[in-house]
Amino acid sequence: MHTKENSCCCSFDDCKLTTEWLLSRTRHRPKIAIVCGSGLGLLADNVSNKQIIRYEDIPNFPVSTVPGHEGCLVFGQIKGKSCVFMQGRFHLYEGYSLCKVTFPVRIFKLMGVETIVVTNASGGLCQDFKVGDIMVIKDHINLPGFAGQHPLCGPNDERFGIRFPCMSDAYSKDLRKLVLDITSELGYSNFVHEGVYCMVSGPNFETIAEARMLHILGSDSVGMSTVPEVTVAKHCGLRVVGLSLITNKVSLDYSREEKVNHEEVLQISKMRAEMLQNVLLTFIARSHQVETINDSHCIYSNAV
């Protein structure tokens, strides 16, 4: 019987136990992990030789509680490349600690994953962005982190990474370029941008004053996830790419009548999932061509 309460499960031994459990149940040895954002579980549709493992069956794993987050790991291949999709992620606002939210990232690392693709649904703050656009994440603002809600707070286990990781290059420049090349080849350039993603804790959407503040601070889009996963991924030396689907325009103006809601977010995600899927298929096929220099001090690349 696995415990599913929100106790801390992030010791190296806990991660090792979960990793060994997964490695004993699947023959897949993924090199790429893809985290599916709200309504983006369809991204795993093209996987061949599929093996699905439900979160509730995995020791130490949290369970999904948000509509649009299915709650399973999908192992398999895309264009001959071994990968794992997280169909459903965890959020701070669900009541999970950030250590739980980011637990899967460390499991992927210990399983031998080298590259992580994080996707999300977000609200567009940049006035040039339209609903349905893709933002390749260039950088982020960790707003909860400023207030001490940070996944790396607490004792640092050097087996995962160093105490003070550098975040100025969290999103691999080479992989961003590859994504931009691919979107251009696919004829998507008109609705693809690079930008800065800001994480808020949620679960409420922003007030107009908050949205204005985030915009002034340099955020191009706002969402409730991704940053903790990226922080932990960079800490343990994974190559990171982030794709944010703009599901709504965030109101910066008191005269605007539109009101965002989660159903609309899911609807737009489903509508545009195919476009993201096309980008991902080519990305997965070609990402090995890019050798990003990794300055991680993680000493357990394939530790268990």
Ligand X SMILES: O=P(O)(O)O[C@@H]1C[C@H](O)[C@@H](CO)O1
Catalogue the active-site residues: 38, 69, 91, 93-94, 121, 224-225, 248, 262
| Smallest distance from ligand HPA to CB 153, Å | 23
CA distance 165 to 209: 32
222 binds, among ligand HPA, ligand X, none (CB under 5 to 8 A by kind): ligand HPA
Q: Which does 89 bind (CB under 5 to 8 A by kind): ligand X, ligand HPA, none?
A: ligand X
Give phi and psi for 249, each to the nearest 5.
-90, 130
Q: How far apart are CA 246 and CA 131, in angstroms?
A: 5
Confirm or reject binding of residue 38 to ligand X (CB under 6 A): yes
Q: Distances in Å between the alpha carbon of 130 and those of 112, 140, 248?
A: 37, 20, 8
Shortest CB 299 distance to ligand HPA, Å: 36
**How far is C-alpha 228 from the geometric centre of its chain's CA atoms?**
9
Closest alpha carbon to 108 in 142, 85, 92, 139: 85
Q: Does 282 bind ligand HPA (CB under 6 A)?
A: no
Query: Which is closer to ligand X, CB of 97 or CB of 120?
Result: 120
Segment contacting ligand HPA by CB under 6 A, of 53-61, 121-129, 180-188, 277-285? 121-129
- Tokens 């023959």, residue located: 27
Question: Under DSSP, is residue 6 helix (H, G, I), strand (E, B) or coil?
Answer: coil
Peptide bond between residue 203 and the one before it cis (omega within 30 degrees of 0): yes
- Using CB under 6 A as the binding rule, the residues of this chain from 195 to 214 that contact ligand HPA are 205-206
Nearer to ligand HPA, 123 or 228 (CB): 123
Task: Please choose which of ligand HPA, ligand X, none residue 296 contacts, taking the beta carbon within 5 to 8 angstroms, the exact cut-off set by kind.
Answer: none
Cα dihedral sign, 77-81-82-88: negative
Distance CA 108, CA 79 (A): 20
Q: Which residues bind ligand X (CB under 6 A)?
A: 37-38, 66, 89, 91, 120-121, 202, 223-225, 262, 265
Q: Which residues bind ligand HPA (CB under 6 A)?
A: 121-123, 205-206, 222-224, 247-248, 250, 260, 265
